[in-house]
Structure 1
Amino acid sequence: MKSFRAVISLFAAAFLIAAPAIAATTTTHHTSSHKSSSHSKSKAKSAKSHKLHGQQAIDAERVTEIQQALIREHYLTGDANGVWDSTTQAAMQKFQADQGWQTKLMPDSRALVKLGLGPDYSTAINAKDVASAAPPATSSSTIPAPQTAGFAAAAGVNK
């Protein structure tokens, strides 16, 4: 019985060693005259595989909400116009950097929550301890003038 297992093991090992060598030497010849059509199909498939997924732009209403929150927090000056422009991007990057978070161009979810723009769980059953409430509004008198000027300079706006 042991010798039978040994023989089977030997054949299995030989097959595993020889299989890649046999597969590597096998070639396939196409006799079809439609080679170009098969290539065009593969190109069409690869073009579809590069389809962009997920949200590609921020809705104008959401941009307005973000701008209003950044204005409230003194990272942006002027009026909220609903356009995700370079000034708004710079203000969001500055806000996120000041929090110690990433500064990529799209808003971080933690930054949106910190700005009071996260999900609203106020009507949830266990909402009494939820920390997603809007931050309290700060008066401009509590922020020193040099700091306000620094915010405006970092956001690229003149006050």
Structure 2
Amino acid sequence: MRFYRNLGLILVTAFATITHAVGVRSQHTASTTARGSSHVKSGHKSTATAAKSHKLHGQQAIAPERVSEIQQALIREHYLPGPANGEWDETTVNAMQKLQSDQGWQTKLMPDSRALKKLGLGADYSNAINAKGSSFAAPPPASTIPAAQAAGFTAASGVHQ
């Protein structure tokens, strides 16, 4: 009986020590910025480290020339009324979201590559390193593949028709 009492005492002490150590490490304090808004700041990070972790990455906005191209394509496809103004405004965002939802795609605030390709505004690879002498045309139809080669493809895929 004495063994179980001592074991219980050891476990309770160990649990209390671990709980206290975890609580100290994850303690958060609220601080107020110069603008008056409050945010949670970890107790063990320096201000310089916290500032570095909030850097913005990637493209933050679309250039006005590109917005005009997108708007003209949306107008051509009857998703956007009126002339292109080069501003990524609410009307343009709504038109892009409508295009993407009509295709069954996720609607995002920024256009994705599928939407741009659908509008005929996909990436231009004409200046790519390996672009000389190549064509970026669609592949030839499957009916132009020789029958023996098509049979080999079918056999290799494991699909039996």
TM-score bracket, normalised by the shorter chain, equals 0.5 to 0.7
CA distance in 2, matches of 1:43, 1:80: 44
* TM-score, scaled to structure 2: 0.53
Match of 2:99 among 70, 90, 95: 95
Q: Which residue of 1 aligns with 2:90?
A: 86
Residue type at the aligned position of 1:86: E
1:126 aligns with 2:130: no
> How many equivalent pairs are there?
99
1:48 aligns with 2:31: no
Structure 2 portions without partners, runs of 5+: 1-17, 22-42, 140-161
SS in 2 for 1:129: coil
Alpha-carbon distance change, 121 to 52 in structure 1, aligned in 2, over 3 angstroms = closer
Higher relative contact order (CA 8 A, sep 6+): 1
Higher strand share: 2
Please report the RMSD computed on the Cα atoms of aligned residues, expressed in angstroms: 2.9
CA distance in 2, matches of 1:68, 1:127: 26
Structure 1 portions without partners, runs of 5+: 1-23, 28-38, 132-159
* TM-score, scaled to structure 1: 0.54
CA distance in 2, matches of 1:40, 1:50: 17
Deviation at 1:121, TM superposition (A): 3.9
CA distance in 2, matches of 1:121, 1:114: 16
Q: Which runs of 4+ in 1 moved over 2 A?
A: 120-126, 128-131
Higher helix share: 1
Match of 2:79 among 75, 78, 85: 75
Residues 121 and 130 in structure 1, CA contact (< 8 A), matched pair in contact too = no
Alpha-carbon distance change, 54 to 128 in structure 1, aligned in 2, over 3 angstroms = closer
| % identity of equivalent residues | 71
Residue type at the aligned position of 1:47: A
